[in-house]
């Protein structure tokens, strides 16, 4: 297949995945030739190629999987003549029908929401006011007397609106102590747990509290993905890290969300390591959030892992039923103005939405909107169940078995640790159980291969390879087949 045709399909996928990355990196590449299953891409120079490889190499590899039945590899080569902007724009502007034409349904990607764990995302400062729905012009027929829902703006994440329970009390206490005496006690502070349970809320609460109590302090509150993008942008434009380093080293309090985003970013890890050491040495406060413990982050420098473990590590769990009820009643009191959700509906929500506070809030707002739009002052449990049937079905499915459950069960079965499964060792006693865990994650969960890959610190292609290999292993090795069957039984009990 011609290089131009391969790159056109890959470009469509990359644009769909992340337009900013496409503009910054991939639009500056040009297809030179194909050599069997190898696509040679022209880049401005070797330095650009190195940065692109670190910043988004995994995305590029994923985009070349299954193009008319071929899994292409790629390599960079210095281009003699850059591709014209006109041609790049032409590919960039292809309509979405071409995605179906080239069977892009085989390429699935899930992007993590940037919404905070309880309240919408903001920087360290106050959240911008959200206009009430009544202030927005809406075309409503004259005879229609229904009111659109009006919600108060309570978007600022603070300690006051963080509901404390047994599963987050330790993290909450440590975060408050850090906010009151930055750099004095728990430094660094590492908060970890699954998505949507309050990590970002606590991070932003620290930012707001420090700004209120110590207005002279410089607080940097950012996501890891923003740091990574800023780092590679500066490197691409200026080819030095001075500007990036200076922006962080002037912080009295550095708050970094989703620090697992450093995985595979070798140059960025080195720079963050140096910044981290300097800030700690100066007595400045660092707080990080992550979806796993430091030892379970794959493809990250061990020096960083030890630094992350040098302070206090706190896990945050999903609030129990009683805490979920408190959260729902708080939202009912603080958010709703012209509709009402009765206690039995809140009990229904607290009982059925258990995976994340973010999803709980989505269900709450959906029912509030439905009640208001239907002209009712409240809503029944039966109506709530009808409105949320798809969400509840997904909750039941995901609650049954998670990727984390599979990782833990496989690790225990083979006498390994989760860190072994997520690590880079390729000895047989680790590589085969790792592939079993990946394969079972695809079989027993609803997660896409891209999402499963993210959970293992691998890419889409690696998960597909693992599925094929486990099938072959089970066919020729009866002990492996029995092991897989036993693990599945354990998980499905």
Give tens-digit pLDDT for 384-426: 888 888 888 877 766 667 888 899 999 999 999 988 899 888 8
State residue 113's pLDDT score: 37
Instruction: Please name the residues in contact with 215: beta carbons below 8 A apart, sequence gap of 6 or more.
Output: none
The CATH number covering residue 394 comes to: 1.10.8.60
Work out how many domains the chain is built from and give that number.
Answer: 4
Q: Are residues 363 and 436 both part of a single domain?
A: no
Q: What is the mean pLDDT of the chain?
A: 79
The CATH number covering residue 412 comes to: 1.10.1750.10
Residue 389 lies in a domain: yes
Q: Are residues 415 and 335 both part of a single domain?
A: no
Specify the range with the lowest mean pLDDT, choosing from 9-18, 96-105, 337-346: 96-105
Could you tell me whether strands 285-290 and 189-192 are parallel, antiparallel, or unpaired per DSSP bridges?
parallel
Q: Check pLDDT > 70 for residue 119.
A: no
Residue 152 lies in a domain: no
> Of 250, 284, 315, which residue is a domain's last?
315
Per-residue pLDDT tens digits for 127-165: 333 333 333 333 333 333 334 444 444 457 889 888 888
Q: Are residues 186 and 311 both part of a single domain?
A: yes
Q: Provide the domain limits for residue 202.
A: 169-315
Q: Are residues 43 and 86 both part of a single domain?
A: yes
In the block, which residue shows the tokens 């590449």? Answer: 29
Residue 472 lies in a domain: yes
In 3-state terms, what secondary structure has residue 256?
A: strand
Q: How confident is the model at residue 111 (pLDDT cuts 50, 70, 90)?
A: very low
In the chain, what are the helix, strand and coil shares in percent, each to the nearest 5? 55, 10, 35
Q: Are residues 183 and 246 both part of a single domain?
A: yes
Closest by Cα among 325, 320, 358, 331 to 344:
325
Closest by Cα among 201, 205, 196, 155 to 176:
205
In the block, which residue shows the tokens 């620090």? Answer: 259
Q: How confident is the model at residue 233 (pLDDT cuts 50, 70, 90)?
A: confident
Residue 309 lies in a domain: yes
**C-alpha count within 13 angstroms, C-beta hemisphere, residue 468:** 5
Per-residue pLDDT tens digits for 238-283: 777 788 888 899 999 999 999 999 988 888 899 999 999 999 999 9
Closest by Cα among 308, 107, 99, 127 to 208:
127
Instruction: Please name the residues in contact with 365: beta carbons below 8 A apart, sequence gap of 6 or more.
Output: 151
Q: Are residues 394 and 269 both part of a single domain?
A: no
Q: Are residues 417 and 382 both part of a single domain?
A: no
Q: Are residues 184 and 293 both part of a single domain?
A: yes
Structure tokens at 315: 């896990």
Residue 325 burial (CB count, 10 A): 18
State residue 492's pLDDT score: 63
Q: Are residues 263 and 276 both part of a single domain?
A: yes
The CATH number covering residue 81 comes to: 3.30.300.180
Residue 433 lies in a domain: yes
Per-residue pLDDT tens digits for 180-214: 999 988 999 999 987 888 899 999 999 999 999 99
> Of 58, 82, 106, which residue is a domain's last?
106
Q: Are residues 233 and 190 both part of a single domain?
A: yes
State residue 251's pLDDT score: 93
Per-residue pLDDT tens digits for 70-84: 888 888 888 764 443
Q: Residue 38: beta bridge partners?
A: 35, 73
Residue 384 lies in a domain: yes
> Of 106, 123, 149, which residue is a domain's last?
106
Q: Check pLDDT > 60 for residue 378.
A: yes
Residue 141 lies in a domain: no
Residue 157 lies in a domain: no
Q: Where are the alpha helices (DSSP H) in 181-240?
A: 199-213, 224-238
Q: Are residues 11 and 69 both part of a single domain?
A: yes
Q: Are residues 389 and 303 both part of a single domain?
A: no
Is the link from the previous residue into 188 a cis peptide, with omega within 30 of 0?
yes
Average pLDDT value for residue range 39-63? 78
- The sheet carrying 73-78 orders its strands as 30-35, 38-43, 73-78
Q: What gap in Å lies between CA 97 and CA 65, rounded to an integer?
A: 19
């Amino acid at each position: 297949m011609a290089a131009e045709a391969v790159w056109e399909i890959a470009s469509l996928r990359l644009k769909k995945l992340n337009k900013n990355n496409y503009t910054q990196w991939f639009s500056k590449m040009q297809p030179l030739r194909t050599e069997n299953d190898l696509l040679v891409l022209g880049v401005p120079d070797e330095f650009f190629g190195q940065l692109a490889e670190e910043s988004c190499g995994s995305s590029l590899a994923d985009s070349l999987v299954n193009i008319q039945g071929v899994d292409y590899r790629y390599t960079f080569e210095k281009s003699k003549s850059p591709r014209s902007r006109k041609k790049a724009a032409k590919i960039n502007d292809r309509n979405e029908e071409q995605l179906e034409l080239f069977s892009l349904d085989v390429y699935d990607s899930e992007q993590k929401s940037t919404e905070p764990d309880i309240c919408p995302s903001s920087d360290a400062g106050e959240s911008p006011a959200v206009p009430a729905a009544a202030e927005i012009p809406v075309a409503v027929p004259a005879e229609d007397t229904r009111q659109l829902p009006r919600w108060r703006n309570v978007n600022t994440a603070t300690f006051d609106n963080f509901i404390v329970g047994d599963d987050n009390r330790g993290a909450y206490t440590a975060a408050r102590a850090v906010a009151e005496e930055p750099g004095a006690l728990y430094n660094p502070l590492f908060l970890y747990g699954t998505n949507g349970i309050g990590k970002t809320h606590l991070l932003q609460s620290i930012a707001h509290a420090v700004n209120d109590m110590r207005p002279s302090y410089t607080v940097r509150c950012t996501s890891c993905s923003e740091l990574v993008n800023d780092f590679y942008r500066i490197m691409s434009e200026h080819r030095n890290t001075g500007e990036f380093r200076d922006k962080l080293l002037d912080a009295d309090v550095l708050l970094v969300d989703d620090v697992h985003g450093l995985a595979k970013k070798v140059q960025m890890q080195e720079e963050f390591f140096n910044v981290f050491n300097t800030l700690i040495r100066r007595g400045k406060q660092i707080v990080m959030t992550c979806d796993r413990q430091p030892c379970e982050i794959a493809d990250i420098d061990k020096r960083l892992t030890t630094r992350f473990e040098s302070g206090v590590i706190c896990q945050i769990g999903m609030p129990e039923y009683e805490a979920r009820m408190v959260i729902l009643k708080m939202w009912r009191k603080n958010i709703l103005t012209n509709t009402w959700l009765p206690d039995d509906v809140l009990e229904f929500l607290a009982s059925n939405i258990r995976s994340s506070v973010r999803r709980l809030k989505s269900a709450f707002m959906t029912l509030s909107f439905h009640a208001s739009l239907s002209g009712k002052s409240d809503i029944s449990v039966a109506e709530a169940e009808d409105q949320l049937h798809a969400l509840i079905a997904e909750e039941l499915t995901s609650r049954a078995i998670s990727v984390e459950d599979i990782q833990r069960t496989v690790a225990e079965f083979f006498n390994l640790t989760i860190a072994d499964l997520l690590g880079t060792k390729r000895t047989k006693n680790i590589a085969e159980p790792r592939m079993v865990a990946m394969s079972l994650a695809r079989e027993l969960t609803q997660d896409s291969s891209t999402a499963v890959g993210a959970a293992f610190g691998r890419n889409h292609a690696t998960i597909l390879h693992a599925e094929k290999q486990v099938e072959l292993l089970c066919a020729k090795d009866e002990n492996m087949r029995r092991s897989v069957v036993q693990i599945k039984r354990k998980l499905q009990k």
